[in-house]
Structure 1
Amino acid sequence: MDVIVIGSGVIGLTSAWYLSQIGYQVTVIDRQPSSAMETSFANAGQISYGYSSPWAAPGIPSKAIKWLTEEHAPLKIQPSLNPDLIRWATQMLANCTLPRYQKNKARMLSIANHSRACLEQLRNEHAINYQGRQLGTLQVFRTQQQLDAIEKDLKLLEQSGTRFQLMGVKECIEQEPGLALVQEKLVGGLHLPDDETGDCFQFCQQLTELAKAQGVRFEFNTEVSNWITVGKKIIGVQTDRGLFKADQFVLASGSYSTALLKSLKIHIPVYPVKGYSLTVPIECEQFAPRSTVMDETYKVAMTRFDDRIRVAGTAELAGFDSSLPQKRKNTIEMVIRDLFPKSGDFNQAEFWTGFRPMTPDGTPIIGATPYENLFTNTGHGTLGWTMACGSAHILATIMQGLECSISDESELNLNRYA
């Protein structure tokens, strides 16, 4: 069985890998010259199973209004009459009720915890070096109100089998000694010990080579422009390098999946939520993070690599604007300087932006479409690497015609938006 996977970010690559493991002849098509050159290139570096939560949550609408006037707000909105943005934002607001939040978070935790098992197995079976660490995530709180608000999540964490520990300031410093310099700014934290870290770009390069060794074919510098269909079946994709045919097709193009599906009159609510990151060389290891520290106030993650710190945050609704405004850099740099002031050489920080493919309910769109041989694996938002291996394994299960053990398939595919 021949399958074409469109996209070679972490979602497309893991999709290709798991499909090749069950006997598919896989071809990956990507417009870039190599794997992971877009959203997977310089993401937060956190594999945050326990931190898997939808952005749509109770209280977010009122917070979003307040954030409009704050310099370092975690959410920025460029005013627009774009119908896709209006439709997406309307659906997101509808998911900000407590019952929907609980349902969406529980579903996301199921995928994330399945992904943890899949990545662990992959790491045990193959020597993949991506500067990985298994030291957990520490979510730090600056106010008692934030600490109290986390209570609504603890029951869901328990129900999903996710380990966690509420920590006082002293325990936070024991976990992350670099915070000792700023302990007066904190009131406590939530430690998620099973979370991991690492360089997603390095992971993707290594998985690409493993996939090639398994017979996966890569067609880089190749842009898909159209689908070739007969009735409700795809027979090929037209590209700037000619026609490619296969028996089945997987669309894993992140934020760009939306436009490709529109030509088939399939509408998915995946919007490009723009995020930013800094990569900072470590100057003083003693005062640098050991793993990932998430600042709850600014929604900024600081993740330790071997000799670098990846600082990532800000959600900006601005379409496909790839500019790098200095004021966005100022926000994420302010946070790392505030919590780990002696950690890195900020004069050598590298600034980057990417488009996170976000759904209104936070859950990715995995599985069947109205076309009998076209499947999607997209819409992972900020949790692409966190959910990558699990999503790909789920996709491979569905494509074999087997029952998905994680969730009802209709809860994962685009039918839930019907």
Structure 2
Amino acid sequence: MHVLILGGGVVGVTTAYYLAKAGHRVTLVERQPGVGLETSFANAGQVSPGYSAPWAAPGIPLKALKWMMMRHRPLVLWPRFEPQLYGWLARMLANCTEEAYARNKGRMVRLAEYSRDSLRDLRRDTGIAYDHREKGTLQLFRTRKQLDHVDDDTRVLDKFGVPYAVLDPAGCIAAEPALARVPNVFVGGLRLPGDETGDAHLFTQRLAALCSEAGVVFQHGASIARLRQGGGTVTGVELVSGEVLVADAYVAAMGSYTPALLRPLGIDLPVYPVKGYSLTLPVIDPGAAPVSTVMDETYKVAITRLGDRIRVGGTAELAGFSQVLRQPRRETLARSIGDLFPAGGDPAGAKFWTGLRPMTPDGTPFVGATRLSNLYTNTGHGTLGWTMACGSGRLLSDLISGRKPDIPSADLACDRGLY
């Protein structure tokens, strides 16, 4: 079967890898001059099944209001007349119940853990290297109130069998020795030893090279104008250049841009771009830098070691498709790493970046078939695209190949209920 993949981020490329491995002829279309150059380019670097949870949760509406009042706020909402934004927010609020949270968390952890295991298999099979480490994640609490509420997190982890350890300050320092230099900044932490780290952009590039060796054709610099349909199927992909590409099956993996592509076909995906930012600093003192990933709970910022660099990622900005780099967001990231690892990286050499995370109201991506018989989606992974990429690609390859996936998948498709 010839499968055409639309989108060359980490999700699209992993999908191409698994489809090629299953024996399909694969073509990947990407508007950028290479793969992994948009949302996958400079994300936080975490592969975090243990941290996979929907943003829609009980108590979040009140917390969101408090966050937006902070100077270094983790959430920013730009007032704008945009019906899609407010429809998305309404659906997200509808998911802020105990019942919905438990359901959505279960879906996300199931896919994320399967994805981590799939990534480990891929790494074993290919020997791919991407500045990865398998040293876990440390969620760091600055206040006693945060530490006192750790049971809210661990109850969910217990339910899904995710290993963890609640740590006192000494335990945090044992996991991340550089924190010994700032002992008065934190009061404890929650460690998730099963999490990993790695450079998603480097992974995507190197996996694309392996895909090319396996026969996958990459068509870069190819912007899609629209999808053609007829008889309940997609009949072709029309490029801006006028060229029409035809295949047996099609996978829409264009992140935040997927809904606009599918809406004319009568498929309305509630995926909204949530803007995130990152700083990448060169390491100047390895002993003062993080070992793995530290999640600063106060500012919702992840600080990750990637080889000889430190990646600082975070904030959620609801600003449509704007990719303007805003200085206040940089100051929040700089504040977090300055408090926790002040001597680890070189701020003067930092690179500031922003990307659009494709978020669904319930936190779960859309992976599976659509009402058109040969069209599939693999999008809406939000902040967890790197975490869920391999599992999503492997699962979708099984569905397209007519094989039963290793995990339940019906509730991941775009026809699931979101309320």
TM-score, normalising length: structure 2: 0.97
Q: Which 4+ runs in 1 deviate beyond 4 A?
A: none
Residues 1:405 and 1:306: Cα distance change in structure 2 (over 3 Å) = closer
Separation of aligned partners in 1, 2:119 and 2:32: 25
Q: Counterpart of 1:169 in structure 2: which amino acid?
A: P
Give 1:266-277 correspondences, 5 Å limit.
266-277=267-278
Could you say which residue in structure 1 is the equivalent of 2:337? 336
Q: C-alpha root-mean-square deviation of aligned residues, in Å? A: 1.1
What are the superposed Cα offsets for residues 181-239 of structure 1, whole Å, 9 maximum, x if unpaired?
22222121111111111111110110000000110000000011111111210111000
Quote the Cα distance in structure 2 between the aligned partners of 1:262 and 1:150.
41
Contact 2:179 2:340 in 1 (8 A): yes
**3-state secondary structure, aligned to 1:58:** coil
Report the Cα offset of residue 166 of structure 1. Answer: 1.0
> What's 2:115 paired with?
115
Q: What do the CA deviations read for 1:111-140 (whole angstroms, capped 9, x no partner)?
A: 011011100000001121101111010011
SS in 2 for 1:310: strand
Q: Secondary structure at the match of 1:50?
A: helix
Equivalents in 2 of 1:120, 1:159: separation in Å? Answer: 24
The more displaced of 47-56 and 375-384 is 47-56
Q: Cα distance, 1:161 vs. partner?
A: 2.9
Secondary structure in structure 1 of the residue aligned to 2:49:
coil
Query: Which residue is equivalent to 1:58?
Result: 58
1:407 matched to 2:390? The reply is no
Q: Which residue of 2 aligns with 1:197?
A: 197
Aligned residue number for residue 30 of structure 1: 30
Unaligned runs of 5+ in 2: none
> What letter corresponds to residue 143 of structure 1 in structure 2?
T
* 1:385 Cα offset (Å): 0.6
Contact 2:130 2:203 in 1 (8 A): yes
User: 1:11, 1:377 within 8 Å by CA — same for their partners in 2?
Assistant: yes
- By how many angstroms is 1:408 displaced? 4.4
Shift, 1:105, TM fit: 1.0
Partner of 2:224: 224
Q: Deviations over 1:71-95 (max 9, x none)?
A: 1111100012201100000111111
Task: Tell me, yes or no, if the aligned pair for 1:107 and 1:407 is still in contact at 8 Å.
Answer: no
**Aligned: 1:255 with 2:256:** yes
Deviations, residues 26-57 of structure 1 (Å, cap 9, x unaligned): 00000000000100000001111111111111
Q: CA deviation at 1:405?
A: 4.0
Post-superposition shift, 1:305? 1.2
- Check the 8 A contact 2:53/2:108 in 1, yes or no: yes
* Alpha-carbon separation, structure 2, partners of 1:234 and 1:258: 16
Task: Report if the CA contact (8 A) 2:27-2:216 is conserved.
Answer: yes
1:369 paired to 2:370? yes
Deviations 1:323-358 (A, max 9, x none): 001111111111000111111110111000000000
Indicate conservation of the 8 Å contact 1:275/1:316, yes or no.
yes
CA contact (8 A) 1:106 1:156 kept: no
How far is the alpha carbon of 1:147 from its aligned partner?
2.1
For 2:145, what is the secondary structure of its paired residue? helix
Percent identity of paired positions between Structure 1 and Structure 2: 51
Conserved 8 A contact 1:134-1:196: yes
One-letter amino acid of the structure 1 residue matched with residue 86 of structure 2: I
Give the equivalent residue in structure 1 for 2:87: 87
The residue aligned with 1:13 is: 13
Q: State the TM-score, normalizing by the size of structure 1.
A: 0.98
User: Secondary structure at the residue paired with 1:89?
Assistant: helix
AA aligned to 1:273 is V
Unaligned runs of at least 5 residues, structure 1:
none
Query: Match for 1:83: what amino acid?
Result: P
Post-superposition CA distance 1:353-405 (Å, at most 9, x none): 00000001110000011100000000000000100001111111222233344
Q: How does 1:74-223 map to 2 (within 5 A)?
A: 74-223=74-223
Q: What is the match of residue 310 of structure 1?
A: 311
SS at match of 2:184: helix
**Residue by residue, what CA displacement relative to the aligned partner does 1:301-331 show, whole Å, maximum 9, x if unpaired?**
0000111100000000000011001111111
* Per-residue deviation, 1:23: 1.1
The separation in 2 between residues aligned to 1:348 and 1:408, in whole angstroms, is 44
What amino acid is the match of 1:310? R
More displaced stretch, 125-134 vs 271-280: 125-134
Work out the CA distance in 1 between the residues paired with 2:353 and 2:108: 27
